[in-house]
Amino acid sequence: MRVSYIRSLGTFTLLKVQHNSYRSTINLKAQIRTQAMSNQQMFLWWGSGSCPCWKPMIVLAEKGLWKGLPNKLISFDEEEYRCSDILAINPRGQVPTFKDGELVVNESNAICMYLEEKYSTAENRLLPETPEQRSTVYWKIFEASNVEIKVLDALAYYFYYTKKEDRNDEVIKEKVATAKTELSHWEKDYPALRKYYDTITARPSVQATWPPHWREGPTAENHLAAL
């Protein structure tokens, strides 16, 4: 969970709290009333527990657009991301895949930026207004890719894709060390990371989009426990 939120820290969705001095929770009901019809032309294909999928879902919720939005939860185990509906508009066969009317927007950060530009109001803006403040957000968006590369791709996916009998203890030790070094940068820069995590977790947008299978409890070995 810490890894998921540090990676999400690189998105302006979760940095909103930091850059707006922990503003009080947005009145989502008021947004839903004013934008109720805006989401019916949208469609989102997504997978439970996927950080790339979760990011635009949180943005949609922050904009008051998630409730009632047409969507499909796909199964990674069944490789439903290769279904014809997705491949027709996303040849890479990846989720999230997003449509707003006839417009197709893929790649999670691109979806987030599109939603921010088109559906922002004074009450639900996620990006700071000045270029100087936004530069910090952009910086963290790209810096967070290091977490994906050094923690998720290198370590978590190693466990996921490598059979137990084929795992190498020395390789794991090296990957764990690399991951810890990366995470230490974030913990040094953000000493109140746990408090930040708790604040973000409590936001209605995060709770409304919480991955369904996470609510059911752990379903597999926690390969990142050593971190």
The answer, yes or no, to whether residue 35 has pLDDT greater than 50, is yes
**Nearest of 194, 199, 213, 211 to residue 54 by alpha carbon:** 211
Rounded Cα distance, 66 and 161, in Å: 33
Question: Measured between alpha carbons, how far is 11 from 5 in angstroms, rounded to an integer?
Answer: 10
Dihedral of CA atoms 12, 16, 18, 21 in degrees, nearest 10, equals 160
Strands 71-74 and 42-47, how do they pair? parallel
Q: What is the rounded average pLDDT of the residues 48-76?
A: 96
- CA dist 119 and 112 (Å) reads 10
The SS3 of residue 227 is coil
Position 72 pLDDT exceeds 70: yes
Q: 200 is written with which tokens?
A: 């973000």
Distance separating alpha carbons of residues 13 and 90, to the nearest angstrom: 24
pLDDT at 12: 43
Instruction: Assess whether pLDDT exceeds 90 at residue 219.
Output: no
Burial of 195: CB neighbours in 10 Å, binned 0-12, 13-18, 19+: exposed
- Overall average pLDDT of the 112-118 stretch: 96
13 pLDDT above the threshold of 60 = no
More confident residue, 18 or 168: 168
Task: Provide mean pLDDT across the span 28-48.
Answer: 75
Predicted TM-score of the model (pTM): 0.81
Per-residue pLDDT at 31: 52
- Mean per-residue pLDDT, 79-96: 96
Angle between helix 12-19 and 131-143 (nearest 10): 130
The domains of the chain, with CATH numbers, are: 1-227 (3.40.30.10)
Amino acid at 213: H
E strand residue ranges, the chain: 42-47, 71-74, 97-100, 103-106
- Give the residue with greater pLDDT, 147 vs 29: 147
Percent of the chain beyond pLDDT 70? 82
Average pLDDT over every residue of 208-223: 81
Average pLDDT in the chain: 85
Output the 3-class SS for 88-103.
HHCCCCCCCEEEECCE
